[in-house]
Amino acid sequence: MKVVVIHGPNMNMLGIRDQAIYGPMKLEEINAQMKAVAEQNKIDIEFFQSNLEGEIVDKIQECLGDADGIIINPAAYTHTSVAIRDAIQAVQLPTIEVHVSNIHRREEFRQKSLTAPVCHGQIMGFGPFGYHLAMIGMLQIFNEIQALKEQQKAQNQTQA
């Protein structure tokens, strides 16, 4: 199983940018913690960060046939990008949206997510720990998919 973690614009500035909202942890540290969880669970993990909407759309599309799930923080594009939303919807992969801050406690223009309705779930407001929660959520989704496949296989064997 493989998870692709996509970080949107300005996420490369974590640890520098407004620490009162985003905290002192750098993106590299978040990625290292996620990698450790992935390794413990025998999951391949890939990280991608871009400040460019089109590159994020391209990366989501590249996940089709290459990944089993996506964890994404579209950052500012959460509130504006129909293109990222459409890409998530098109690839039909389990996707979890993560935000370091609670977008509902922020400015009004940040409170609506265009991408959340096409994701399996959304985690926000837990700081960098939200990424860990997303990994746990993705592992649960993978377990449910595997259980469903095994159930269908058993039903097919019974019918044969």
Q: Per-residue pLDDT tens for 116-141?
A: 999 999 999 999 999 999 999 999 99
Write the DSSP assignment of 79-110 as a string of letters.
GT-HHHHHHHHHHT--EEEEESS-GGGS-GGG
Task: Return the pLDDT at 160.
Answer: 66
Name the active-site residue from 7, 22, 77, 131.
Answer: 22
Say whether pLDDT at 91 is over 80.
yes
Selecting among 7, 77, 99, 131, the annotated active-site residue is 99
Q: Is 120 a catalytic residue?
A: no
Q: Sketch the domain layout of the chain as residue ranges.
A: 2-159
* Phi, psi (degrees; rounded to nearest 5) at 99: -135, 135
Residue 131 annotated to the active site: no
Q: What distance in Å separates the CA atoms of residue 5 and residue 155, rounded to the nearest whole number?
A: 34
At 102 the pLDDT is: 82
Q: Residue 154: what pLDDT?
A: 84
| pLDDT value for 71 | 98
Tens digits of residue pLDDT in 45-82: 999 999 999 999 999 999 999 999 999 999 999 999 99
93-113: per-residue pLDDT in tens? Answer: 999 999 998 887 777 867 789
**Domain made up of 2-159: CATH architecture:** 3-Layer(aba) Sandwich (3.40)
